[in-house]
Amino acid sequence: MVKCLNYDGSPKCHDCEVGDGPKNQHGTIPGCFNNSKIVDYLKVAIVGSEEKKWNEYQKVGAKSFIRTILSNDNVKVMISGDCPNGGVDKWAESIAGDPSCGVTALIYSPEINRWKDKGGEMGFRTRNLKIARNCDILYDLEPKGKRSGGTWTAEQAEKMGKDVYYVFFDKDGHGVATPKLGKSI
């Protein structure tokens, strides 16, 4: 279960009951993926931590969250970064690749295993900026207390004016979605 929050960190909804409150530029409640109007975007980026940072319960919670986001009829494209160390990127790519999902995967793979570009090959930094630039909304999924290149990507997307949500999963696999880094209940 993921709890949805307002920008001020207060609980917004439970079991698809959405209250009054601030809406984003699309007229939807930010961070509420239970709301049938959560994503009226075409391109959703899903980024986050590599495989080794997650326990088994957190993995289950994160994969369930990804399925929920990608099952929305308005999501047409899922963008991710093909992390060479597995984790959120690979889970999102796998779920989007299921024919029953009906979502096209747009994957930005790094060409070299380093932060900066070298010799004309794209590193993680450029890859992450492409993800941020080309999405309409971005979800950064992290085990509670962790950060990753996905968090950096989310911060860049925020600077570009994109809707960004940080989803932190506790040790039992329960997630909390927040529209701003650091706000949690």
Q: What is the structure's pLDDT at 99?
A: 86
pLDDT at residue 36 greater than cutoff 50? no
Confidence band, pLDDT 50/70/90 cuts, at residue 32:
very low
Which pair of tokens denotes residue 7? Answer: 């920008």
What are 32-39's contacts with CB under 8 Å, separation 24+?
Answer: 32/4, 32/177, 33/2, 33/4, 33/65, 33/68, 33/69, 33/72, 33/177, 34/2, 34/4, 35/4, 36/72, 38/69, 38/72, 39/69, 39/72, 39/74, 39/75, 39/137
Cα of 80 vs its chain's centroid, Å: 9
Q: What is the structure's pLDDT at 24?
A: 44
In whole angstroms, give the CA distance from residue 103 to residue 96.
6
* Segment 152-163 mean pLDDT: 94
Extract the runs of DSSP E, i.e. beta strands, from 49-174: 77-80, 104-107, 137-143, 163-169
pLDDT at residue 45 greater than cutoff 70? yes
Confidence band, pLDDT 50/70/90 cuts, at residue 145:
confident
The model's pTM:
0.76
Confidence band, pLDDT 50/70/90 cuts, at residue 18:
very low
Extract the runs of DSSP E, i.e. beta strands, from 43-136: 43-48, 77-80, 104-107
> Per mean pLDDT, which range of 4-13, 95-104, 154-163 is the poorest?
4-13
Asked if the 38-178 domain carries CATH number 3.30.379.10, the reply is: no
Higher pLDDT, 185 or 169: 169
Which pair of tokens denotes residue 10? Answer: 């207060």
Structural domain spans, the chain: 38-178
> Per mean pLDDT, which range of 16-25, 115-124, 134-143 is the poorest?
16-25
pLDDT in tens, 57-69: 999 999 999 999 9
Q: What is the structure's pLDDT at 181?
A: 63
> Per mean pLDDT, which range of 118-122, 138-142, 145-149, 179-183 is the poorest?
179-183
In order of 65, 106, 110, the CA distances from 91 in angstroms are 11, 14, 17
Q: What is the structure's pLDDT at 17?
A: 34
